Homo-oligomer: A and B are copies of this chain.
Amino acid sequence: MTKQERAARTRDALIRSAAGEFDRRGYDLATLSAISSGAGVSPGALHFHFENKAAVAVAVEYEAAARLRRTARLEYRRPSDALQNLADTTHALARLLREDVVVRAGFRLSCANDRRTELNLRQEWQSCVQQRLAEAADEGLLAFGPEHQQDLARTVVAATVGLESLGRDNDEWLSPRTVTGLWRTLLPLLAGPDAFPDPEPADTVTPAA
């Protein structure tokens, strides 16, 4: 392993350990010593990579944003229509929030963000949902005309953003069951007669565990 590879591995381990600390204890109570020992490195090694706690938090947020975008991009490449894609992307993002501590900590930091970075993960999630809905409208899949489009789009955005928000206190809100229930309620409102086959509210990508 080259020196660069070792440095990159240490940095990754520090980001993962920091995400765990931020997720468990919040930014204010997280300590640099717990972060370095959680990564199995010395405090000096941490300071080689990050100047202070704020710099570690910024790195966690950027890594979370990168993972969020990568997941959305992967879903987007699947051959399905925009409505199915919207439901599948929500399942994928909920799974990320459930399973990936870096993404979870990134959202938590981004929400508490007092202008530490330009990132806003909640807004990225919102834009992703809005784009898929606009594509569904372009593809002629929606049940409603332009006069109701804004109301429905906002309801979908609010409900999906709400899942993330609620999931912070109780991860049942991000479970496949809850996300499927949300789409079982909302898809019949959204899908017009040209949405064929009917979009599936359950996760069509990851089989149930």
- Residue-wise, chain A 151-165 has the 8 Å CB interface mask toward B (1 for contact) of 110110111111111
Chain B: CB-nearest residue to A123: B169
Chain B: CB-nearest residue to A109: B112
The answer to whether residues A185 and B189 also contact, given A112-B112, A114-B26, A161-B166 and a CB cut-off of 8 A, is yes
Band of interface residues on A: 35 or more
Interface residue stretch chosen among A66-74, A78-86, A176-184: A176-184
A16 to B7, CA, bound (A): 48
| Interface check A96, CB cutoff 8 A | no
- The A contact surface, by secondary structure, is helix
Kindly provide the distance from the CB of A82 to the nearest chain B CB, expressed in whole angstroms: 19
A189 to B152, CA, bound (A): 13
B150 and A181 within 8 A (CB): yes
| Interface check A29, CB cutoff 8 A | yes
A166 to B26, CA, bound (A): 21
Kindly provide the distance from the CB of A69 to the nearest chain B CB, expressed in whole angstroms: 19
Chain B: CB-nearest residue to A170: B123
| Interface check A120, CB cutoff 8 A | yes
Kindly provide the distance from the CB of A206 to the nearest chain B CB, expressed in whole angstroms: 20
A178 to B159, CA, bound (A): 13
A112 to B163, CA, bound (A): 17
A103 to B200, CA, bound (A): 40
A101 to B169, CA, bound (A): 24
Kindly provide the distance from the CB of A124 to the nearest chain B CB, expressed in whole angstroms: 11
| Interface check A115, CB cutoff 8 A | yes
8 A Cβ contacts from A127-166 to B: 148, 150-152, 154-155, 157-166
The answer to whether residues A157 and B151 also contact, given A111-B111, A122-B169, A189-B189 and a CB cut-off of 8 A, is no
Having A25-B114, A27-B112, A158-B158, one finds 13 other A-B pairs with CB under 8 Å, namely A26-B112, A111-B111, A111-B112, A122-B165, A123-B169, A151-B185, A155-B159, A158-B163, A158-B166, A159-B159, A159-B162, A162-B162, A165-B165
